[in-house]
Amino acid sequence: MNQETPLLQVRDLRVSFQLDEGVVRAVDGTSFDVMPGQVLGIVGESGCGKSVTMKAILQLVDRPGQIDTGEIKFVRADGEMVDLAKLSARGATIREIRGGEIALIPQEPMASFSPVHTVGDQIIEAILLHSHRWEKDGHKITRRAAREITVGLFRDVGISMPEQRVDAYSWQLSGGLRQRAMIAMALSCKPRLLIADEPTTAIDVTTQAQVLALLRDLQVKYNTAIIFITHDLGVIAQMASYVVVMYLGRVMEQGPVDAIFHAPKHPYTRALLRSIPSMYGQTRVALPVISGTLPHPFNRPPGCAFHPRCADVMPACSVGVPRLLPVGDDQLASCFLHHDEAEPV
Amino acid sequence: MTRYIAQRLLILPFLMVIYSFVIFLIIQAPPGDFLTAYVATLASSGSSISADQIAALRHQYGLDQPFLVQYFLWMQNLLHGDFGLSLEYQRPNADLISEQLGLTLALALFSFVLTWAIAVPAGIYSATHPRSLIDHVLTVINYVGVATPNFMLALILMWMAFAYFDINVTGLYSPEFVDAPWSFARVGDLLFHIWLPGLVLGIAGTARLSRIMRANLLDELNKPYVVTARAKGMREWRLVLRYPVRLAFNPLVSTIGWYLPALFSGSLIVATVMNLPNIGPLLLRALINQDMYLAGGILLIYSFLTIVGTLLSDVLLALIDPRIRVES
Amino acid sequence: MAVAGSDAEDRVAVASNWRLVWWRFRRHRLAMISAGLLIFMYLIVLAPDFFSVQDPERTDARQAFIPVQMIHFFDDGSLSPWVPTITGKRHPVTLRMEWVADPARKVGVRFFARGYSYRVLGVFETNVHLIAPADPTQRIFLLGSDRLGRDQWSRIMHGTQTSMTVGLVAVALSVILGVVLGGLSGYVGGKTDQVIQRIIELLQSVPTIPIWLALSAALPRDWTPIQVFFAITVILSLVGWTTLGREVRGRFLALREEDFVLAARLAGCSRMRIILRHMVPTFASHIIATSSLAIPVMIINETSLSFLGLGIRPPAISWGVLLQEAQNIQTLALAPWLLTPGLVVIVAVLAFNLVGDGLRDAADPYSN
Ligand SMILES: Nc1ncnc2c1ncn2[C@@H]1O[C@H](COP(=O)(O)OP(=O)(O)O)[C@@H](O)[C@H]1O
Ligand code: SF4
Ligand SMILES: [Mg+2]
């Protein structure tokens, strides 16, 4: 186990949506850590609760969703530890943390900028909101200075003609440029944790490679911790040093990237890996081909959520929910193949 | 942008020609003409007029000409700013209309401002507090507001004011100001009286507008850019006002195109019921008495205001929405 | 979706679509109540005389402005409905008649009792009424009487027949015009579309109320009430069809691109068959929803026109015609029950709007 204090500790997080049709348990007992400067990859089929988990970290879960239980411990810049799950969604503390300490690159870059404000405007606004992060010798930062910073950021993320592009509207930019602008905005306040929610899903393969390279460079340059979300194992292999595999709102397995790819312990991880033709190939695998279909969110299977599709299913699997426990060096799995501890009911 | 406006302005005269022709068709349509009605009135009051005199009058007013000739004469005069003579009042139509036009516009604009000042905040509140008590109350008010015809509301208010407070809320001035020259006191008196008809006139529009605002804003609040703004750490109310409200506003602006004209013509009924100085009642009388050129002139002005209203709203929309501005 | 499948398959797809709409509609409680109310109002439309207490044209100058006679259901604890007698005294100074209810003298009221005779739908004759005084020689005024001593209640029943019919017929005409022209525009496209679109734009930018007034004023004064009725209906629908036309066109454009229409065309179905079997059912529910939202607009317009004296004309009775009696504020202060037709208008319009909204949500749960 790593001896450092984690930057972020998520423990047994549960988020549910109360809909007219029933309750959706989007996140159902998820736990993982993020170390300072680490790139954590989270992988899972779409709909497994990755985005909702990230929104929960920033207290951004939309109505009618709510955080039911769990802890989200975050070490702030001044060393103080706060439980984000307990903060008020509209309070001053969470607003300082949002953008200032934890930045989010949302899943849909196309619609994530307002179409009637220039991208520059929206980034300048973010800088001014957390202006103390840029202040020198106690001088308040001016709007013009913020604009200069934005132009610089655009240059850093590889946007050509940054002066002109600052005044463009998002719909005037190509998909790749928009994603770069979004990254610039996320970096604008020098966050200590960057959450990138499927940053490469909506763009073409070449641009995808460029964006990944950019994120890697920036991570090295600023030593920012990154939570990198994708449903694409190939991308995970290129980016992450540590991997969390999620299924139906729960962590199935987590471990260092090598362990996950070469010594997977959980049947779900193995199934995921089998579904990629060539592990490091450039082809994006849309969805892993695993027998059976993803259950409807309203009727989660009892016991291990994966049991209706699992090749190694045992009688116990449909009774108890397996706990996430160590199965190797720095590697954890929730599967009765490796232990027989069920979650307390 | 300038080209877009220029194009629209160029179409305007063509539209006016089409409208003027249709209007002329309509005001010509009733069987008989003003003189037949006039003779009937004279006869009922005991006096009479000789057939020669009638023929002379008919000739003087061009009523004996074929349809198209009459139309072209009318258009020719209009182009010179001559709206013709009112057959009933025996005064230039232009004077009759211009006496009422200012207050007609003032009432419509006042009602418009009132409508927006109420509807937009109400819509924002409802959308940001969906299913709250106030949202439900506003919804009920909206439904009833849309369901109540303007004139019913006017009648109810006038009746209650008269029956319970013994005040007469008709007219736009207190009696002492009706014929007074313009002064600050008179303007004040006008402002005191105008809000009730303004409210009556705008109530259905207010209800409809706040529904639109609520629905649009609810839509916009679910857009990803709102999450982006929240993730920046903005204050909730500032963020709502700056982003989704701004976007929810755009479709509203495009409603100005029909709403402003609807106010002009809507004021017709309210003005008749509440006895307001307005071109509406003037049109009503003109139509009933077949004072055709007066009616035609007023209808033309309504059409003109309608076109200008639509144009204004399109231009405004282009100004505030860069997506439209860049494309046009 | 059935692709040029058997007719049986088509029927299943269509029927289940309707059933889904019905299920979703049933969940809106207010809309269901409103629908019940509207059905009741259309029953009145079918036989207004059955619901009337008196002949709506029966005048009596000595019984002008009689106030509302409240109906009481129990007499000494037993079920025996009655209304108090109204007695009049002339005020010595103003010489105005003043009416006082005298609960000591009761007029018995019976349900399904005999009154004046009338024809139902012009076919069979009867004299049974929902409510009638036990003694046929008595007159009772459940909602008061007007300036000429006519019974407001019975006049509202007859006004309901006219106004609700105008709304329905005008919208029916609008729907026909809108579906034919909008469908043509959307399905044929090209020049036809262009021309129809320009016409729609022109009509939509017309100042509606003044033009309506002008058109109504152009109706010859010597037309019979029936002629005026139809003319007003046509005038109302002339402008009303454009919204529907637009909507239908938009849906046709969208549907034209959809796979099943293409598939049906590839399978060799004729154009007409494609339209009728595949395109119309898919948006019929939307048309119904839009229509039920258009009817109240028509009703308000008819009422306003008639109120101004340019719509339905007496002796025909409509809600607007009845409200003309309420024009004078002094009269209204004396006889506030003259406003009751207005309340009926509001209730009817409200009910239509609620049903329309419910239908729209049921037909298209994802919009809004
Ligand atoms: N606003 C919402 N309302 C209702 N359910 C939601 C909402 N957002 C997410 N969910 C549910 O949460 C589950 C997880 O969603 P999400 O986290 O977006 O998945 P992903 O892993 O693809 O990012 C989904 O099954 C979805 O049904
Ligand atoms: S717990 Fe059982 S069902 Fe679940 S993954 Fe392990 S073996 Fe498969
Ligand atoms: Mg997601």
Q: 148-177 in B: which are within 8 Å (CB) of C?
A: 148-152, 155-156, 158-159, 162-163, 168, 170
What is the reported pLDDT for A53?
A: 96
Residue A48 Cβ inside 6 Å of ligand 1? The answer reads yes
Q: Quote the Cα angle for A250-A66-B211, to 5°.
A: 135
Average pLDDT (C269-280) is: 65
State percent of chain A over pLDDT 90: 57
Query: If pLDDT is split at 50, 70 and 90, which confidence band does C256 have?
Result: low
Q: Is the pLDDT of residue C23 over 70?
A: yes
Determine the Cα–Cα distance for residues C345 and C303; give it in Å rounded to an integer: 8
A266 is a domain residue: no
Q: Model confidence over C290-324: pLDDT tens digits? A: 788 888 988 988 898 889 888 888 888 999 999 98
Q: Looking at the domain assignment, is residue B178 inside a domain? A: yes
Q: What is the pLDDT of residue A285?
A: 44
Number of domains in chain A: 1
From chain A, the residues in CB contact with B251 under 8 A are none
Residue A6, token pair as written in the block: 């984690």
Residue B234 lies in a domain: yes
| Residue A10 within any structural domain of the chain | no
How far is the centre of ligand 2, averaged over its atoms, from the C-alpha of A323 (Å)? Answer: 11
- Which value, in Å, is the radius of gyration of the alpha carbons in chain C? 25
Residue B284 lies in a domain: yes
Q: State yes or no: pLDDT of B266 exceeds 90.
A: no
**What pLDDT, on the 0 to 100 scale, is given for residue A114?**
92
Which amino acid, B53?
A: Q
Window from A14-18, C99-103, C275-279 with minimum mean pLDDT: C275-279
Cβ neighbours around A275 below 10 Å, total: 13
CB-based contacts of C184: which residues, under 8 Å, 6+ apart? C192, C196
| Rounded distance between C-alpha atoms, residue C245 and residue C62, angstroms | 53
Evaluated on CA atoms C201, C207, C210, C214, the torsion sign reads negative
Q: What is the pLDDT of residues B6-32, one digit of tens each?
A: 887 888 888 888 888 888 888 887 766
Do A106 and B224 lie within an 8 Å CB cutoff?
Answer: yes
Do residue C304 and residue B168 have CB atoms under 8 angstroms apart? Answer: no
Cβ(A180)–Cβ(A161) below 8 Å: no
Q: Which domain holds residue A116?
A: 108-188
> What is the domain-level CATH number for residue B234?
1.10.3720.10
Show the CA angle centred on residue A181, arms to residues A188 and A223, nearest 5°: 45
Contact A169 B323 (CB under 8 A): yes
Higher pLDDT, C3 or B130: B130
The CA-based angle C268-C270-C275, given to 5 degrees, is 120
Ligand nearest to the backbone CA of A46: 1
**Counting every residue, how long is chain C?**
368
A24 lines ligand 1 (CB under 6 A): yes
Give pLDDT tens digits for A136-162.
666 778 899 999 999 999 998 889 999
CA distance C335 to C330: 9
Contact: B231, A58; criterion CB under 8 Å:
yes
Q: How far apart are CA A104 and CA A182, in angstroms?
A: 9
Domain tally for chain B? 1
Parallel/antiparallel/unpaired status of strands A22-34 and A8-19: antiparallel
SS3 of chain C: CCCCCCHHHHHHHHHHHHHHHHHHHHCCHHHHHHHHHHHHHHHHHHCHHHHCCCCCCCCCHHHCCCCCCCCEEEECCEEEEEEEEEEEEECCCCCCEEEEEEEEEEEEEEEEEEEEEEEECCCEEEEEEEEEECCCCCCCCCCCECCCCCEHHHHHHHHHHHHHHHHHHHHHHHHHHHHHHHHHHHHHCHHHHHHHHHHHHHHHCCCHHHHHHHHHHCCCCCCCHHHHHHHHHHHHHHHHHHHHHHHHHHHHHHHHHCHHHHHHHHCCCCHHHHHHHHHHHHHHHHHHHHHHHHHHHHHHHHHHHHHCCCCCCCCCCCHHHHHHCCCCHHHHHHCHHHHHHHHHHHHHHHHHHHHHHHHHHHHCCCCC
Question: By three-state DSSP, how is residue A15 classified?
Answer: strand
3-state secondary structure of A251: strand
Nearest CB among A95, A107, A182 relative to B235 is that of A95
Confidence of residue A279 (pLDDT cuts 50, 70, 90): very low
Q: Quick one: CA torsion of B199, B203, B206, B211, rounded to 10 degrees?
A: 160
Amino acid at C39: I
The percent of residues above 70 in pLDDT, for chain A, comes to 92
Here the contacts of B185-192 (C-beta below 8 Å, separation 24 or greater) are B190/B106
What is the secondary structure of B129-167 as a DSSP string?
STTSHHHHHHHHHHHHHHHS-HHHHHHHHHHHHHHHH--
In chain B, the residue whose alpha carbon lies closest to the alpha carbon of C348 is: B147
CB-based contact C304 B272, cutoff 8 Å:
no
Judge: B224–A99 Cβ closer than 8 Å, yes or no: no
Q: Tokens in use for B91?
A: 């005064």
Kindly determine whether residue B310 and residue C205, on different chains, have CB atoms separated by under 8 Å. Answer: yes
Please tell me the number of Cα atoms within 13 Å of A11 on its side-chain side: 9
Pairing type for strands A193-197 and A225-230 reads: parallel
For residue B92, give the 3-state DSSP assignment.
strand
Instruction: Tell me the backbone φ, ψ of residue A100, rounded to 5 degrees.
Output: -75, -45
Task: Calculate mean pLDDT across residues A7-19.
Answer: 93
CB C311 within 8 A of CB C209: no
CB contacts of A76 in chain B (<8 Å) are none
pLDDT at C22: 82
Which residues are registered as beta bridge partners of A271?
none
**Nearest alpha-carbon partner for B203 in C339, C300, C308, C235:** C300
Before A162, cis peptide (omega within 30)?
no
Does residue B23 form part of some domain? no
Chain B window 188-247: which residues touch C at a Cβ cutoff of 8 Å? Answer: 215
Residue B191, domain member (yes or no)? yes
What residues are neighbours of ligand 3 (ion), with CB under 5 Å? A 51, 107
- The model's pLDDT over C50-102, given as tens digits with 9 standing for 90+, comes to 888 888 888 887 777 788 888 878 777 777 787 777 887 777 787 777 788 77
Residue A325 has pLDDT above 60, yes or no: yes
The ligand that comes nearest to the alpha carbon of residue A60 is 1
* Atom number of ligand 1 nearest to Cα A198: 23
- In the block, which residue shows the tokens 């008590």? B133
Inform me whether the C-beta atom of residue A107 falls under 8 Å from chain B C-beta atoms: yes
| Contacting residues of B for C339, CB less than 8 Å apart | 152, 155-156, 159
CA distance A61 to chain B (A): 9
CB C133 within 8 A of CB C139: yes
User: Which range among A146-150, B163-167, C113-117 has the greatest average pLDDT?
Assistant: A146-150
Do C209 and B303 count as a contact with CB atoms less than 8 A apart? no
Is the pLDDT higher at A169 or at C148? A169
Ligand at shortest distance from the CA of A47: 1
Kindly tell me if the per-residue pLDDT of B178 is higher than 50: yes
Which chain B positions have a beta carbon within 8 Å of A97's beta carbon? Answer: 233
- Report pLDDT for A277: 57
pLDDT tens track for B205-247: 888 889 889 988 998 998 899 999 999 999 999 999 999 999 9
The CA-based angle C297-B159-C342, given to 5 degrees, is: 30
CB-ligand 2 contact for A303 (6 Å cutoff): no
Asked, for residue B136, whether it belongs to a domain, the answer is yes
- Tell whether ligand 2 has an atom less than 6 A from the beta carbon of residue A314: yes
| C6-19 residues labelled b (16+ CB within 10 A) or e (exposed) | eeeebeebbeebee
Q: Which of A24, A67, A197, A229 to mutate to test the pocket of ligand 1 (most atoms within 8 A of CB)?
A: A24
Which one-letter amino acid corresponds to residue C250? Answer: G
C306 vs C321: CA distance, rounded Å: 5
Is residue A55 helix, strand or coil? Answer: helix
Nearest CA in chain A to B250: A116
Does the beta-carbon distance from B303 to C207 stay under 8 Å? yes
Chain B within 8 Å of A336 (Cβ-Cβ)? no
User: Using CA atoms, how far apart are residues C258 and C12, in angstroms rounded to an integer?
Assistant: 20
Query: Which structure tokens are listed for B40?
Result: 């009937």
ipTM of this complex: 0.88
- Residue identified by tokens 């199934």 is A271
Distance between CA A101 and CA A132 in Å, rounded? 12
How many contacts does A have with B, using Cβ atoms within 8 A? 79
Q: Please, which residues have CB within 8 angstroms of residue B228's CB and are 6 or more apart in sequence?
A: A104, A106, A112, A113, A122, A182, A185
Range of the domain at B241: 103-292
Domain membership flag for residue B304:
no
pLDDT of residue C2: 35
Q: In the structure encoding, which two tokens stand for residue A1, read together?
A: 């186990």
Place of tokens 């046509």: C234
Contacts of C251 (CB under 8 A, 6+ apart): C186, C282, C283, C286
* Alpha carbons C194 and B228: distance in angstroms, whole number: 42
pLDDT at residue C1 in the model: 36
Closest C-alpha to B224, from A111, A278, A135, A259: A111
Are the C-beta atoms of residues C174 and C244 closer than 8 Å to each other?
yes
The closest alpha carbon to C37, from C364, C346, C281, C366, belongs to C346
CB-based contact, A95 to chain B, within 8 Å = yes
> For B22-75, how does the pLDDT look when each residue is reduced to its tens digit (9 = 90+)?
888 888 877 666 677 677 767 767 777 777 877 877 777 677 778 888 888 888
Report the alpha-carbon distance of residue A43 to residue B47 in Å, rounded.
98
Residues contacting residue B204 through CB under 8 Å, at least 6 positions apart: B145, B146, B148, B150
Q: Please name the member of B222, B233, B323 whose beta carbon is closest to the beta carbon of A130.
A: B233
Q: In this structure, what token pair is assigned to residue C153? A: 């209640």
Residue C178 CB contacts under 8 Å (≥ 6 apart), including other chains = C241, C242, C243, C244, C245, C247, C248
In this structure, is residue A147 part of a structural domain?
yes
